[in-house]
Amino acid sequence: MRDLLSAWGELRPQAASDWQGEIPLPAIVADFYAQAGPTGLSLSAGGNPVDIPLLKNLWARQACYRWHGNTGQRLPGWQDHWLVVATEGSNPFMLDTVSGQVYFSLAGGKPDFQLFAPDLLTAFAAIACVANTMRELDEQAFDDTYELTATARAQVTLALDQLLAGSADAHQMLAAWRWYC
């Protein structure tokens, strides 16, 4: 995991004591920050960057999802076992702390979460894989009108398929993410 994320910024283990949340820190999240240690990464995967905050800032990132950003009022429909672990712009990647699965939804209105990955590590590895492939493709990923080329889409899908090695479906993940759909 560290190899996939290292191109995007500093990685430094973060202790569970950095957690500022009002709920217990899920063990999988604590393990991810202790081992991968993202220190506020911003991964450019095409479109808006995917931001993975410092552990100490993760609870604050629940604003506008779990509670209203201005009033602090709890938002209806948000489940206690949901935790936003990353965002693409304002679009959340949400960990269901009961099932361990990661979902993605476009922001605005009622959340329409689509299953993105079977677990947190697969989700972050997949996001980093897409970002790393897009970085390698650089300007060749897009045509003259800044549309993603078919060749770039195929290379991203192939790299993601190789990373997942049958543990998840690359096409399903990219569709759930609405990545250049």
pLDDT digits (tens, 9 = 90+) for 71-111: 888 888 889 999 999 999 999 999 999 999 999 999 877 77
Identity of residue 32? F
Segment 140-151 mean pLDDT: 94
Q: Coil, strand, or helix at residue 91?
A: strand
How high is the pLDDT of residue 68?
82
- Of 134, 137, 163, 161, the C-alpha closest to 1 is 163
Residues 6 or more apart whose CB falls under 8 angstroms from that of 123 comprise 85, 86, 93, 95, 102, 116, 117
What residues form DSSP beta bridges with 52?
Answer: 41
* Sequence-distant contacts of 134-137: CB under 8 A, at least 24 apart: 134/44, 134/45, 134/46, 135/7, 135/44
pLDDT digits (tens, 9 = 90+) for 6-43: 999 999 999 999 999 999 999 999 999 999 999 999 99
d(CA 47, CA 34): 29
Average pLDDT of the chain is 94
Share in percent of the chain as helix, strand, coil (round to 5): 40, 20, 45
User: Is residue 128 pLDDT above 80, yes or no?
Assistant: yes
User: Is residue 48 pLDDT above 90, yes or no?
Assistant: yes
